[in-house]
Amino acid sequence: MKDVEVILGEELAKHFSLQVDLRVYEDLMVKLEKGDKSYLNVTPQHEGVVLYLPVPRMTRERREQLAHDAKGKIFNEYKKALNDIYVRFEKKSSQSSTKPDEERHTRQLLLDLKHAMETKGADLIETKRKELLTEMA
């Protein structure tokens, strides 16, 4: 479950971060003739091998929309991954244990751990959402 928590942290960093890693796009050829008119109010300019993209300031509405989408999408994916882990280990524990009391106790421990991880993930998403919604200078 720690792996899923690490993945949640990485996804939150990707979706809530205002920084973009452009190293993956280094080998792309860019045609500026078609990029001169943009619906995003971004006018690309180039100087040698450097491409300048003046990015407009992110509005509060856009940040709220990103936070809302991330909370829904990322948290649902996180819960689905936790459920998959719970089902997998619940099947393993039911196959290995012979006593019904032990099986029920193990299932309850797994369920408690899953709920604790969901709560921790929800708290992490909420702190990232608040961080994103703070006004930047």
Q: What is the pLDDT of residues 28-70, one digit of tens each?
A: 676 655 544 545 556 777 777 787 777 767 778 877 887 787 7
Asked if 107 and 26 touch (Cβ cutoff 8 Å), the reply is no
Provide the whole-model pTM: 0.56
**CA 80 to mean position of chain CA atoms:** 13
pLDDT band at 26 (very low <50, low <70, confident <90, very high): low
Nearest CA to 108 out of 84, 89, 123 is that of 89
